[in-house]
Amino acid sequence: MMKQIKDLPEFSRPREMLEEKGVGALLDDELVAAIIGSGGGEGLDVRSLSRKIAKLVKEKKGDLSLEELMGIKGIGLAKASQILAGFELARRHIVKEIIKINKAEDVLPSINWITNKQQEYFICISLNGANEVIENRTVTVGLLDRSQVHPREVFADVITDRAASVIFAHNHPSGALEPSNSDLKIQEQLTEAGRILGIKVLDHIIISRKGYYSFQENGLVH
């Protein structure tokens, strides 16, 4: 028989535990149970469902997709959306550790999540005068061209950040690492826009499952 949250003893209900002991006292699967609230269908209880989700979260290190969550039997659009929304809210507002960029490899931990994406993600990382990351933003998703990656969209938030410099990054789903003609034109256009704004473009990194390519390391940043 499927167990809903309300069927559990009150002392073991995740939301009651959270209220009594604080959110830090809950295990991963209990946190998931507190989010989703109930089991997902006949033959599935909230405990086993939550364990499956917690395992997926651990494996993916938070880089979850709607499709992956909905691939778990008992998780539909509503519950998958709840979980993803919770992660995104935390990602946007959690206190960030100070990340200082001295070379291209220092950027990789912040962009590795786009390595295996099937669409091209264009990311803009804004930095202060000490080369510390202020913000890491996804600007566009989809095939890159100059009409999509427009300087106005790229630099609008960077100006608000009062950033001294930026680093761009995007992935190549094909696996290729060499910049395309479109990549080079985008880089030229954004570098010129940055020069006008007084914001230096430090690097542009292409990442794929084969590794990474740094414009700066290859003499393409001036």
- What DSSP line would sit under 64-101, residue for residue? --HHHHHTSTT--HHHHHHHHHHHHHHHHHSPPPP-B-
Q: What is the pLDDT of residue 3?
A: 46
Q: What is the pLDDT of residue 74?
A: 86
* Whether residue 84 sits in one domain with residue 155: no
Q: What is the pLDDT of residue 125?
A: 97
Residue 99 lies in a domain: no
Q: What is the pLDDT of residue 1?
A: 41
Q: What is the DSSP letter of 37?
A: -
> How many DSSP H helices and E strands does the chain contain?
8, 5
Q: Which domain holds residue 53?
A: 5-93
Residue 76 lies in a domain: yes
Q: What is the pLDDT of residue 87?
A: 82
Per-position pLDDT tens, the chain of length 222: 444 444 544 445 777 878 877 877 788 888 888 888 765 554 457 788 889 999 998 888 667 889 999 999 888 999 999 988 988 887 777 656 788 999 999 999 999 999 989 899 999 999 999 999 999 999 998 876 555 788 999 999 999 999 999 999 999 999 999 999 999 999 999 999 999 999 999 999 999 999 999 999 999 997
Residue 164 lies in a domain: yes
Tokens 């996804």 label which residue?
138
Q: What is the pLDDT of residue 147?
A: 52
Write the CA distances from 76 to 36, 73, 142, 205, integer angstroms: 11, 8, 26, 36
Q: What is the pLDDT of residue 8?
A: 47
Q: What is the largest CA-CA distance in the chain?
A: 67
Q: What is the pLDDT of residue 29?
A: 87
For residue 200, what is the domain's CATH number?
A: 3.40.140.10
Tokens 């709607």 label which residue?
66
* Whether residue 48 sits in one domain with residue 117: no
**Which tokens sit at 201?**
């473009």
Residue 58 lies in a domain: yes
Among 47, 68, 93, identify where a domain stops: 93
Q: What is the pLDDT of residue 157?
A: 94
Order across the sheet with 165-171: list the strands: 133-141, 121-127, 165-171, 200-208, 211-214
Give the chain's domain count: 2
Cα–Cα distance measured from residue 211 to residue 175, given in angstroms and rounded to the nearest whole number: 9
Among 61, 93, 125, identify where a domain stops: 93
Q: What is the pLDDT of residue 30?
A: 87
Among 93, 124, 154, identify where a domain stops: 93
Q: What is the pLDDT of residue 10?
A: 44
* Whether residue 33 sits in one domain with residue 80: yes
- Four-CA torsion 164, 88, 173, 159, nearest 10 degrees: -20
